[in-house]
Amino acid sequence: MSKHYYIGLMSGTSLDAIDATLISSDEDHIELVHSISSALPLAVKAQILELCDGTSKEIELLGRLDRELGSIFAQAALDLCQSAGISPSAIRAIGSHGQTVRHRPPDEQRASDIAFTLQIGDPNTIAEISGITTVADFRRRDIAAGGQGAPLVPAFHVAAFGQAGIERLIVNIGGMANISLLKADGKVIGFDTGPGNILMDSWIMHCQGHAFDRDGAWAQSGKLNQDLLETLLQDPYYAVHGPKSTGREQFNLVQLLNALESLPRIPPADVQATLLELTARSICDAIGRCSQKDSEVFICGGGSANHALFSRIQALLADRKVATTEALEIHPDWVEAAAFAWLAKQNIMGLAGNVPAVTGAKGPRILGAVYPG
């Protein structure tokens, strides 16, 4: 079988960068060929946050930002091709996740609400500038089929990391955290566990103006506040069984500040230490509820580089093997972007990209819309 090349573009909830990956794929094998990361311009990041928080000129801002992000994404794809030494004409398709600005999945408590999800980064603009066929808008078909529209990466996790007879958990820690349980019998379970980096990043930005807590150093300087942890763990999201997904709409700085107002003053470093514990605990509690004690755990996403967080997860899962996905031949920084390159391949091949048991959709669906180059 001849190899085909696909590009994946991912800009996640953390808004730290655009990750671009080049994969090759044949019938039996997926290989990460090359990858680069491009920082989002600070002005664009500020506009995304403004749009996420709500503004009186939402439609104007959304329209302009949609086109601007499309241009930025297209340039990231072209930069990736140049860095990899491959012609854009050799790329079969780009898979662009887009930038999520709203995610309102189905909710049993608000059954009358119409579920929707919205990602921007105009794929027409990506295809026009890059000259490469672009597949985008992956989530909304799953939503239309009654699903959560997320997480979508478990299907890729199966293709890239699944192994018959071995139970594995793939833990992606981005802005939000999600897990994929790849059972030994081939069945798949997956869902968002709650906040990944989002609350830690938001708090250090609020207090110190830093985008993130490098290696969890600030968190390690503080002490766990049990009252705050218990308050935050009362969020009803944690008690909901999958399928489930979440985003900035549920876990954000305003939610945290409201929780802090209900408690005696807590030193800022102690808040950060508690937020790290919240992320680790919510991930590990979810793992404990759904998996066997001897299952292997592999971590990816930006949170895998937070040494304090990684060490805390290892401590909470002391009876299991815990490593990053680098042990499975894909560096943890590039797994999600590679997933959307693979999802583009699935679309082009006319194959389903969702896992109904994960998202809750009525059945397998081909995800995304195609914009010819």
| Positions at the binding site for ATP | 12-19
* Residue pair 222/27 in contact by the 8 Å Cβ criterion: no
The tokens of 296 are what?
Answer: 């292997």
Q: What is the dihedral of CA 286, 173, 42, 33, to 10 degrees?
A: -150
| CB-based contacts of 368, cutoff 8 Å, min separation 6 | 95, 135, 136, 137, 138, 141, 343, 344, 347, 353
Q: Which residue has the tokens 């600005």?
A: 101
What sign does the CA torsion over 20, 26, 28, 31 have? negative
User: What b-and-e string marks burial along 221-236, b requiring 16 or more CB atoms within 10 Å of the CB?
Assistant: ebeebeebbebbbebe
| CB-based contacts of 311, cutoff 8 Å, min separation 6 | none
User: DSSP letters of 91-143?
Assistant: EEEEEE--EEEEEE---GGGTTSPPEEEEES-HHHHHHHH-S-EEE--HHHHH
Q: What residue numbers does the annotated binding site cover?
A: 12-19
The tokens of 31 are what?
Answer: 């290989």
What is the identity of the amino acid at 212?
Answer: F
* Residue pair 137/124 in contact by the 8 Å Cβ criterion: no
